[in-house]
Amino acid sequence: MADNHGSSPAAWATVFITVLAFCVGGVALVFEPINWVMFWTGVALVPVALIVGKLLSAMGAGGETDA
């Protein structure tokens, strides 16, 4: 088991972007009428977060793996 418990720059970046995405989408739902452009921007940020996390992990910023 890795000693960092997922606390790596790749994991932090992924979580930060994902939380930002949900905040953007949530705020968009509060407006009357709903701001659909802002909502779908938040939805689009979720795959971006996953891609950024994978790229950072591939570049060596992820946690150590036991292989």
**Domain boundaries along the sequence of the chain:** 9-60
- Find, among 66, 63, 67, 65, the residue nearest to 4 by Cα: 63
pLDDT digits (tens, 9 = 90+) for 30-59: 999 999 999 999 999 999 999 999 999 888
CB 19 within 8 A of CB 46: no
Q: What is the pLDDT of residue 6?
A: 67
- Model confidence at 62, pLDDT cuts 50, 70, 90, reads confident
pLDDT score recorded for residue 10:
87
Rounded to whole angstroms, how far apart are CA atoms 59 and 61? Answer: 6
Q: CA dihedral in degrees (44, 50, 54, 55; nearest 10)? A: 30
Q: Who has greater pLDDT, 50 or 62?
A: 50
Question: What's the predicted TM-score (pTM) here?
Answer: 0.81
